[in-house]
Amino acid sequence: MKKSIKSILGLFTLALLAVFLLYSNHTSAEESQKIEQYAIPTEALPDGVRILSQEMAEKTDLFHPLNTASAPSETSPIADSQERAKLFDYGDVYASSMLIEGVMVGNFVYQYDSPKMAEEAATLLKRDLQAAMPLVAETETTFTLEGDEGDSIRWYIAPQEEMLILVVANGLEAKTVAETFNTVLTLIDNK
């Protein structure tokens, strides 16, 4: 009798575990699909574009800019612990990178709990960039900077619903970087 109760309990535990695993996989797939909807639509990119990576990232992965593993610069506004806590209070992050006409383009989508949080995060990053040197040009959502190897870096920072969308274009020739960057932003605007 005792043995059969134990067997039933064992089977019940296994069944619960299976249901939990199925549900968690299903939920994470749904989250992944949702966040990807805000990313650059790769199917709309011109022929010859080379996709280097497309993945859901961990918060600690160093290959996306708002990773929690890098120490912020001491002079940066996001070095402030309260501001930093707000910025890094996102859930999921989707990262992709691609080569377009010799320019590296990165696209990062961070999912916050509310549109207000995403907007606050965007404001913080923009404030940080306005203090960055050398800042070459800026609009409400775009920034042009010079990199440490004389390269040209362009950032797009914008909240959309509860998402924070970042796009970076990087290359040596400012003109080509600008053209590629603008092409990619058109794809985002047309979604």
Q: How far is the CB of 83 from other proteins (least distance, A)?
A: 13
Instruction: Single out the residue of 35, 39, 40, 103 in contact with other proteins (rule: CB under 8 A).
Output: 103
Q: Which one of the spans 4-12, 33-41, 45-53, 182-190 is the region binding other proteins (CB under 8 A)?
A: 45-53
137 is a site residue for other proteins (CB under 8 A): no
101 is a site residue for other proteins (CB under 8 A): yes
Nearest residue to 52 (alpha-carbon basis) of 40, 67, 70: 40
Instruction: Single out the residue of 76, 123, 160, 183 in contact with other proteins (rule: CB under 8 A).
Output: 76
CA distance 181 to 139: 14
147 is a site residue for other proteins (CB under 8 A): yes
184 is a site residue for other proteins (CB under 8 A): no
- The CB density around residue 158, as the number of other CB atoms within 10 Å, is 19
Instruction: Single out the residue of 54, 72, 88, 187 in contact with other proteins (rule: CB under 8 A).
Output: 72
CA distance 116 to 13: 41
Q: List b or e across 22-59, with b for residues whose CB sees 16 or more CB atoms inside 10 angstroms.
A: eeeeeeeeeeeeebbebbbeeeebeeeeeeeeeebbee
Q: How far is the CB of 189 from other proteins (least distance, A)?
A: 22
